[in-house]
Amino acid sequence: MEAAYDDMSRQAIEQADAGTIFVLGVESSCDETAASVVARDTDGTVRVLSSIIASQHKAHAPYGGVVPEIAARAHMQKIEGLIADAMTQAEMDYAGLNAVAATAGPGLIGGVITGLMVAKGLSLSLNVPLIGVNHLEGHALSPRLSEPCDFPYLLLLVSGGHTQLLSVKGLGDYERLGSTVDDAAGEAFDKTAKIMSLGFPGGPALERTAKAGDPNAIKLPRPFVGKPHADFSFAGLKTASRRAFDAFENPSEQNKADLAASFQLAVTDVIIDRTRNAMGQFQSQDEEKRLVVAGGVAANSSIRAGLEALCVDEGFQLFAPPLKYCTDNAAMIALAGAERFAQGQIDQLDVKARPRWPLDDESASVRPASGSGRKGPKS
């Protein structure tokens, strides 16, 4: 079977060399089930033909966070219908696909397995190559869904599970400049929102609450600000926020708004300071220097505004995906698959789902962001 699959894959790549590449993407790494069809023209132009996302927010809201078992079950229930809808929205027949791409990690293993297994089945039945995509690479390439963004660029990846600064030199060529030593920024947002009972998902709820607050009302720490490296730390800030909230005898809505605004400003200050340091480390042969911000936390308006001002100060051009491509989506997975397919990079059907998968394996092995286990660096 492997030999036949290899022959089929080579033929598919040869046939696609002369024309547009059409890739179906599947995303199921956390609590969003998503499917998308992306077209990549021979000149590198990208067109999103469909992008459908099914949220699980209502299912997880009673628990104040994502429950892995509930997430995996929801993916199983929704994924086939979403893929069919994505193909219909794209006005495509399955026979027109050149490849199927799916998130192969990192993420909640039950969800990753669900999406990857469905993609393997489609690959076999349609006789097209399979591409297992690193979810973080999807985020790294996501600005290219809406506009051209040439390599190299400095990447700020801020999400619920990751906060990293990387030099992106090309497809698959990443060098870590800084990372969180404890919590990710998105996790800190979600847990601080949970402390104040603001609802789920916590990040957007905290941002909404902060609009009515005074960002200077409560003094909170800025971990690592002023340090010469580009690493992050948010655990102490999260703890300080809990203590500030517990100090309110009977917290009012204004107390919550003030704490939310103060917390949001502290996170923004940390991200701006750390990114400024990474800009000093970033090396580019181009006269034009680029900063790409991606991941769910990139949707936060306070952080975006801070990064816009920073780029003006430091002479960088800011690239940020539209808000619909900041959070988990399948268009970014399809794009990463299309870019890899264009370079002849495809996977065997035995590609494994991975709960841990650093974007930069080499530097992660030397200096893991959140420790190592039997299976290697976590992030």
Nearest-Å Rg of the Cα atoms of the chain is 21
**Pair 186, 132 in one domain:** no
Domain count across the chain: 2
The answer, yes or no, to whether residue 39 has pLDDT greater than 80, is yes
Q: What is the mean pLDDT of the segment spanning 216-226?
A: 97
Query: Strand 99-105 and strand 130-134: pairing?
Result: parallel
Amino acid present at 360: D
Q: Is residue 116 domain-resident?
A: yes
**Pair 69, 138 in one domain:** yes
CA distance 182 to 176: 16
- Helix ranges, 93-134 (H): 109-126
The pLDDT tens digits for 6-29 are 555 555 555 555 689 999 999 999
**Pair 163, 302 in one domain:** yes
**Pair 190, 256 in one domain:** yes
Q: Hey, which residues does 261 pair with through a beta bridge?
A: none
Q: Is residue 86 domain-resident?
A: yes
Q: Which domain holds residue 203?
A: 150-320
**Pair 109, 177 in one domain:** no
**Pair 93, 232 in one domain:** no
Last residue of a domain, one of 268, 295, 320: 320
Is there a contact between 54 and 33 (Cβ–Cβ < 8 Å)?
A: yes
**Pair 100, 137 in one domain:** yes
Q: Is the peptide bond before 152 cis (omega within 30 degrees of 0)?
A: yes
Is there a contact between 231 and 224 (Cβ–Cβ < 8 Å)?
A: yes
pLDDT in the model for residue 65 = 74
Q: Which residue in 158, 149, 160 sits closest to 178, CA to CA?
A: 158
pLDDT in the model for residue 244 = 97
Q: Is residue 211 domain-resident?
A: yes
Q: Is residue 173 domain-resident?
A: yes
**Pair 173, 302 in one domain:** yes
Tell me phi and psi for residue 310, to 5 degrees: -60, -45
pLDDT in the model for residue 161 = 84
**Pair 272, 308 in one domain:** yes
Q: Is residue 82 domain-resident?
A: yes
pLDDT in the model for residue 4 = 53
What is the percentage of the chain residues whose pLDDT exceeds 90?
A: 73
Query: What does the mean pLDDT of the chain come to?
Result: 89
CA distance 179 to 360: 11
Q: What is the mean pLDDT of the segment spanning 337-348?
A: 96
CA distance 268 to 222: 9
CA distance 230 to 360: 16
CA distance 170 to 174: 7
Most confident region among 14-28, 102-116, 281-295 by mean pLDDT: 102-116
**Pair 236, 201 in one domain:** yes
Query: Strand 99-105 and strand 21-27: pairing?
Result: parallel
Q: Which residue in 280, 285, 40, 23 sits closest to 170, CA to CA?
A: 285
Q: Hey, which residues does 176 pair with through a beta bridge?
A: 166
N-terminal to C-terminal alpha carbon distance within the chain: 34
The answer, yes or no, to whether residue 376 has pLDDT greater than 50, is no
Q: Is the peptide bond before 355 cis (omega within 30 degrees of 0)?
A: no
Distances (CA, A) of 175 to 70, 166, 169: 35, 5, 8
Is there a contact between 236 and 280 (Cβ–Cβ < 8 Å)?
A: no
CA distance 215 to 190: 18
What is the percentage of the chain residues whose pLDDT exceeds 70?
A: 90
CA distance 36 to 86: 6
Q: Is residue 374 domain-resident?
A: no
Q: Is 202 exposed, middle or buried (0-12, 13-18, 19+ CB in 10 A)?
A: buried
pLDDT in the model for residue 5 = 56
**Pair 156, 81 in one domain:** no
Phi-psi sector, 166: left (phi>0), alpha (psi -120 to 50), beta = beta
**Pair 315, 348 in one domain:** no
Q: Is residue 168 domain-resident?
A: yes
pLDDT in the model for residue 31 = 82
The answer, yes or no, to whether residue 209 has pLDDT greater than 50, is yes
CATH number, domain of 259, equals 3.30.420.40
Q: Is residue 377 domain-resident?
A: no
